[in-house]
Structure 1
Amino acid sequence: MITTIIVFIIVFGILVVFHEFGHYIVAKKSGIMVREFSIGMGPKLFYYRKKGTTYTVRLLPIGGYVRMAGGSDDEEEIKPGTPVTLKLNDQNIVTNINTSKKQTLFQGIPLIITSTDLEKDLWVEGYENGDESTVKRYSVDHDAIIIEEDGTEVQVAPIDVQLGSASLPKRMLTNFAGVFNNFVLAIVVYTILSFVQGGVLTNTNKVDVLPTDSIAKDAGIRSGDKILSVNNHQTDNWTEIAQQIQPNAGKKINVKIQRDNSTKELSLTPKKQKSGENTIGVIGITQSLDHSFKAKILSGFTQSWEMTKRLVLAIASMFSGHFSLNDLGGPVAIFATTSQATKFGLTGVLSFLAFLSLNLGIVNLIPIPGLDGGKLVLNIIEAIRRKPISENTETVITLIGFGFLMLLIVLVTWNDIQRYFLH
């Protein structure tokens, strides 16, 4: 259990951080201010500021986020009635605004905020030193720092560095960058996996035999043999072999093999093995490996492409046929599957990480408001209309999408708990 928890945290963390790093790097290159890049969620443990971005590490090691200036998660900073402390430079322009009661970093001017404009004209107004007879106004520097309630320092976000001020192509690239990074991660991990396991799994009817506990080995099958048919059903590749063997758990089957130029027919009985909620038949064989250097180098692309096709077909079948919550999986399902992946060691974890990365990338492209795909659809609509959707309309659409996603997450999580722990 401890190993599973550690692997789950590492895998989930790599997935989310890699995804968010895509948004981060393209936003920075596009002139969009990234106010915060967080690893983890919840209360902050520590932070570091550099070149306008605050990098935070937070308590809960589950994911992370990128907070872009003017983005949907960039909240209003200072509300009227908030007590703050101002630090001024030699020109009496505000360089620091302390809103945290936990921080007394500098001796400054105490002010009760009555109004602010930290986007266009850059000023704050309020009652100085408790004197409510006069409202004082101070100009705010373009790169001023706000110390938030939890003590985190972030830079103010003037309109010129906000997400909405970037050109449409730059915003589209920023929205797509997270998904792009997930595909890059999958390609890299699949390539590493091929070197770790010594070759690339091939989808042919040539098989390798497990060295121990192998029914196939006991029946006379050897590594390098080709399985030509199972129960007289022709098998030209690994997928067809699995389709014929797995449904026959505990049932005797006839297998025709080819070794060099000779053929032989064998009889054997696949043993029963649990796979999620199902029981499948296995005989102790694996896909053969292509050990060539070229295959290993190209494996990241080829395996990512093959898995992408399978995932897209699986998602398409959900929308075209009978939908079930069992077709979906949330963090609970990922945790349960992580437990199975760790049993296969490093290769199992790497394969699972690449699969999840592709899954996250493809799901994020679904045009649901709140996902990257939904944001891209709004970008496309803006391109067609040649003007952006009104802020109120976009807010309503985003809230509806967010509400739908939250409801789906709750339903999927409860369904996963029932499937994996209460069944």
Structure 2
Amino acid sequence: MTELLPQPGLGFTLLTYILMVAVLVVVHEGGHYLAGRMFGIKIDAFAVGFGRELFGWNDKRGTRWKVNLVPLGGYVKFTGDMNEASQPSPEVLALPAAERADLFVSKPLWQRAIVVAAGPAINFAFAILILAGFYMALGHPLTPPVVSMVQPGSAAAKAGIVAGDRIVSIDGEAIGRFEDIVNTVMISTGEPMRVVIARGGSDKILTIVPAMVKSNDGFGNISRHGQLGIARGDKVIERVNPFEAVGYGISDTISITGSIASTLKQVVTGQRSLDELGGPLKTGQVTGQQASLGVLAFIAFMAFFSINLGFINLLPIPMLDGGHLVLYAVEAIRRQPIGARVQELAFMSGFAALMTLMAVLTWNDLGSVGVWDRLSGWLS
């Protein structure tokens, strides 16, 4: 049996999780802030955390920069906003038009949409810069998608794959390197895959049904994923210039986003269990584990989580940035703002949906760390 890696302590896990969340909150909310400033919008506060203010300061523009008691989240409050739906307060509505000109609610629809979209956008940009930095410093993996070995009895062997075959595409998606094969197969749910291979100067189409296996990440976390049973040749690392590094960062960010979307679709359609999704407790645990492997592993995980944060915030759920954008799209089609009552109901339902999902994921997290098993043992 493979010996597990030592688990980081609770204090270390909490510290690294809070650090990662704080950094990504500043990044995400910084996107909203910078876009708001670009359009001359007045901003009351930029907060890291929720609850009671611990400390802060006012800048020359009148914005209050503050750190609050609960360090898990943050927000930018535009002047005149009454709630999360950015509805103006009665006092603001009573102001003359000239005095409302620099408020968020008075800006053209396209400017408000850019301000809202800037948060998720900067999450993706942040991840791209981290990945580009890795590629510039460490090189970019570009192992040819050529099979060096096929495991007997594996899914690949049953489909007719042999050593020397080059994987050209999987389910219509072009394969440029062996790493692309791994990324594609990992999120498989065992459904047949249409694989095009190059052999002997001609292409051949095969149908492969990936085997579903469970693997351990070294810390005891079990994941379920697809496996073909093939091995790559010697790993190739190419040196890249800054422009190439950014290009690869963009490409990988798009690929990771697609994987997240595919996984979410699999959960919604029942192909993958909701139990496989982690919540805040699991995320915190994995953050500490990755940080225990070193600074580079921690930064790499932060990039991955930043992409997750950007993607989740674009979901069309009220309370999230994507929900705002959907309401703006409806407003653009109707050519008039949506009624205040409708907005309130939308955001209340969105809040309820998010809290329900968070409760389910937290329940899963408690199960994954053995809380329910221990409780059952105590009660039996």
Q: What's the TM-score, normalizing by structure 1?
A: 0.64
The answer as to 2:65 corresponding to 1:55 is: yes
Query: Would you say the 8 A contact 1:308–1:358 is kept in 2?
Result: yes
Deviation, structure 1 residue 118: 5.7
Name the CA distance, whole Å, in 2 between partners of 1:242 and 1:377. 31
| 1:22-56, Cα deviation, whole Å (9 max, x unpaired) | 11111222232211001222221222112021111
Deviates more, 1:163-172 or 1:62-71: 62-71
Deviates more, 1:53-62 or 1:66-75: 66-75
| 1:177-205, Cα deviation, whole Å (9 max, x unpaired) | 10111111110111122244x11123534
Number of residues of Structure 1 aligned to a counterpart in Structure 2: 306
Structure 1: which 5+ residue stretches go unaligned? 79-115, 123-141, 143-157, 207-225, 246-271
In structure 2, the residue matched to 1:227 is: 148
Give RMSD over aligned pairs: 3.4
| 1:380-415, Cα deviation, whole Å (9 max, x unpaired) | 000000001011111111111111111211221122
Query: Would you say the 8 A contact 2:143–2:233 is kept in 1?
Result: no
Query: Would you say the 8 A contact 2:143–2:237 is kept in 1?
Result: no
| Residue identity matched to 1:180 | A
Indicate which of 105, 109, 113 corresponds to 1:172.
Answer: 113
| 1:225-253, Cα deviation, whole Å (9 max, x unpaired) | x72433344474246579999xxxxxxxx
In structure 1, the residue matched to 2:26 is: 17
2:64 counterpart SS class: strand
| Residue identity matched to 1:310 | S
Query: Would you say the 8 A contact 1:190–1:350 is kept in 2?
Result: no
| Residue identity matched to 1:229 | V
Distance change >3 Å, CA 297–CA 121, structure 1 → 2:
closer
Distance change >3 Å, CA 239–CA 74, structure 1 → 2:
closer
Q: How is 1:313-324 mapped onto 2 (pairs within 5 angstroms)?
A: 313-322=262-271, 324=273
In structure 2, the residue matched to 1:402 is: 351
Indicate which of 125, 140, 150 corresponds to 1:200.
Answer: 140
| Residue identity matched to 2:237 | L
Q: Which has the higher contact order (CA 8 A, sep 6+)?
A: 2
Structure 2: which 5+ residue stretches go unaligned? 1-8, 168-177, 187-213, 374-380
Name the CA distance, whole Å, in 2 between partners of 1:173 and 1:76. 17
Q: Which has the higher helix share?
A: 2
The answer as to 2:222 corresponding to 1:274 is: no
Distance change >3 Å, CA 400–CA 244, structure 1 → 2:
closer
Indicate which of 233, 241, 264 corresponds to 1:293.
Answer: 241
Query: Would you say the 8 A contact 1:120–1:159 is kept in 2?
Result: no
Query: Would you say the 8 A contact 1:205–1:241 is kept in 2?
Result: no
Distance change >3 Å, CA 389–CA 242, structure 1 → 2:
closer
In structure 2, the residue matched to 1:42 is: 51
Query: Would you say the 8 A contact 1:238–1:287 is kept in 2?
Result: no
Distance change >3 Å, CA 12–CA 205, structure 1 → 2:
same
Query: Would you say the 8 A contact 2:85–2:344 is kept in 1?
Result: no
Q: How is 1:104-143 mapped onto 2 (pairs within 5 angstroms)?
A: 117=91, 120-121=94-95
Deviates more, 1:385-394 or 1:340-349: 340-349
In structure 2, the residue matched to 1:260 is: none
| Residue identity matched to 2:216 | K
1:366 counterpart SS class: coil
Q: Which has the higher strand share?
A: 1
Query: Would you say the 8 A contact 2:86–2:105 is kept in 1?
Result: no
Query: Would you say the 8 A contact 2:129–2:246 is kept in 1?
Result: no
| 1:344-392, Cα deviation, whole Å (9 max, x unpaired) | 3222112211111111111111111111111101000000000010111
| Residue identity matched to 2:119 | G
Bigger Rg, structure 1 or 2: 1
| Residue identity matched to 2:131 | Y
Name the CA distance, whole Å, in 2 between partners of 1:379 and 1:77. 16
| Residue identity matched to 1:413 | T
Name the CA distance, whole Å, in 2 between partners of 1:302 and 1:200. 12
In structure 2, the residue matched to 1:220 is: none
In structure 2, the residue matched to 1:68 is: 78
In structure 1, the residue matched to 2:294 is: 345
| 1:274-297, Cα deviation, whole Å (9 max, x unpaired) | 232248999999954223336434
Distance change >3 Å, CA 415–CA 42, structure 1 → 2:
same
1:194 counterpart SS class: helix
Deviation, structure 1 residue 77: 12
